[in-house]
């Protein structure tokens, strides 16, 4: 089986990319899909959200991170077995431990990722004489990772804001990209730039089509300006606007805080008042990715 490769990306920062990765991965795994999340952001937000700070430190010490893998592959030129860097069953959802459920595995980042990325950029530039060489090197590596495992239904890249080399590489490898966006004036400007020249530049020379979706996050129903922006977005043909909207809620923040490594939560506890939106988001993502009907009939 070949996994769908999905990048969650936007030029703009702080628009809910990592939180959306958390929600989508959690719901898709409950539906029975096996998900591999790659944290491409040195802020390591999705890694912290899934595992908590203590666990990240422990895994970093055990060399079980994407940072370590890229360091071994690009700086030392001697990488270990790919699977040994990946953290299995990273989510704290009880439902994912039930028979027939899928799971979320994580290729975690640490803040040191940016330094490894810079060191690789420098090395590639020296060896190949081109500033773009690192991006191409990362592209080959990310594709290799996505194709290496046959067990995953979806490989998800949590991209950093802006266009770092790793982010550009992920956008070249992806089949689909979903851009979370807050429906306010400045965020929409960022989305439009991303949808027009950003993606086109990143995909220069890639001849596979890319499916682009946009997801509204942190929506505040009472804000008139947001309602206006949403209407304009519906008419934009460059991307498919998800019908699911995730509203501004403290429950999103609560869901993204891992309680403790040994404490599990059920879906309703984790997502509270956002549980219906997260369900809908996962279901709509499955349809967007053409994953077919539910793997199992989990509700
Ligand atoms: N629906 C929501 N309601 C309230 N707060 C939210 C919601 N979604 C995300 N947040 C909060 O907004 C902040 C940014 O979210 P998140 O980290 O997911 O965005 P991001 O786009 O991944 O950011 P970055 O560009 O830095 O990677 C976080 O503090 C997060 O908890
Ligand atoms: Mg993020």
pLDDT of 299 above 60 = no
Domains in the chain (CATH in brackets) are: 4-287 (3.40.50.300)
- The pLDDT-based confidence of 131 (bands split at 50, 70, 90) is confident
Burial group, residue 241, by CB count within 10 angstroms (0-12, 13-18, 19+): middle
Q: How far is CA 285 from the centre of its chain?
A: 12
pTM of the model as a whole: 0.96
Residue reference for tokens 């009939």: 297
Query: How are the residues of the chain apportioned to helix, strand and coil, as percentages rounded to the nearest 5?
Result: 50, 15, 35
Q: How far is CA 228 from the centre of its chain?
A: 28
Q: Of 91, 75, 219, 242, whose CA–CA distance to 156 is shortest? A: 91
* Distance from the alpha carbon of residue 17 to the mean position of ligand 1, in angstroms: 7
pLDDT in tens, 86-100: 999 999 999 999 998
- The pLDDT-based confidence of 292 (bands split at 50, 70, 90) is confident
Which ligand is in closest contact with the Cα of 20?
1
- Starting at the earlier edge strand, list the strands of the sheet with 176-181: 103-107, 34-39, 154-158, 4-8, 176-181, 211-219, 240-247
Residue 87 has what DSSP assignment? Answer: B
Q: What is the pLDDT of residue 244?
A: 98
* Distance from the alpha carbon of residue 256 to the mean position of ligand 1, in angstroms: 9
Which ligand is in closest contact with the Cα of 246?
1
pLDDT of 139 above 90 = yes
pLDDT in tens, 73-122: 999 999 999 999 999 999 999 999 999 899 999 999 999 999 999 999 99
- The pLDDT-based confidence of 296 (bands split at 50, 70, 90) is low
Q: Of 34, 12, 56, whose CA–CA distance to 261 is shortest? A: 56
In sequence order, which residues have a C-beta less than 8 Å from that of residue 152 and are 6 or more positions away? 3, 34, 35, 36, 105
| CA torsion through residues 59, 60, 65, 68, sign | negative
Contact 182, 233 (CB under 8 A): no
Q: What is the pLDDT of residue 257?
A: 96
DSSP 3-state of 185? helix
Ligand 1 lined by 96 (C-beta under 6 Å): no
């Amino acid at each position: 089986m070949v996994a769908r490769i999905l990048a969650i990306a936007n030029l703009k920062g702080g628009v809910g990319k990592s939180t959306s990765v958390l929600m989508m991965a959690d719901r898709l795994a409950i539906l029975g899909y096996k998900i591999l999340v790659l944290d491409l952001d040195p802020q390591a937000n999705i890694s912290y959200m899934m595992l908590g700070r203590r666990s990240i430190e422990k895994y970093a010490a055990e060399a079980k991170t994407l940072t370590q893998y890229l360091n071994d592959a690009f700086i030392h030129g001697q990488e270990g077995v790919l699977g040994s860097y990946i953290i299995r069953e990273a989510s704290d959802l009880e439902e994912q431990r039930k028979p027939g459920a899928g799971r979320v595995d994580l290729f975690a980042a640490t803040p040191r990722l940016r330094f490894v990325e810079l060191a690789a950029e420098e090395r590639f530039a020296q060896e190949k004489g081109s500033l773009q060489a690192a991006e191409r090197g990362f592209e080959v590596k990310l594709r290799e990772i996505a194709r290496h495992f046959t067990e995953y239904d979806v490989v998800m890249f949590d991209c950093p804001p802006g266009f770092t080399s790793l982010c550009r590489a992920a956008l070249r490898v992806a089949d689909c990209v979903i851009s979370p966006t807050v429906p306010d004036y400045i965020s929409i400007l960022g989305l439009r730039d991303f949808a027009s020249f950003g993606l086109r530049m990143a995909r220069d020379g890639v001849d596979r089509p890319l499916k682009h979706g946009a997801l509204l996050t942190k929506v505040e129903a009472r804000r008139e300006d947001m309602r206006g922006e949403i209407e304009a977005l519906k008419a934009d043909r460059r991307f498919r606007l998800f019908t699911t909207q995730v509203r501004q809620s403290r429950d999103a923040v609560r869901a993204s805080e891992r309680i403790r490594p040994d404490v599990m939560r059920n879906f309703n506890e984790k997502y509270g008042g956002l549980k219906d939106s997260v369900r809908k988001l996962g279901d709509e993502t499955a349809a967007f990715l053409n994953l077919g009907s539910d793997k199992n009939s989990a509700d």
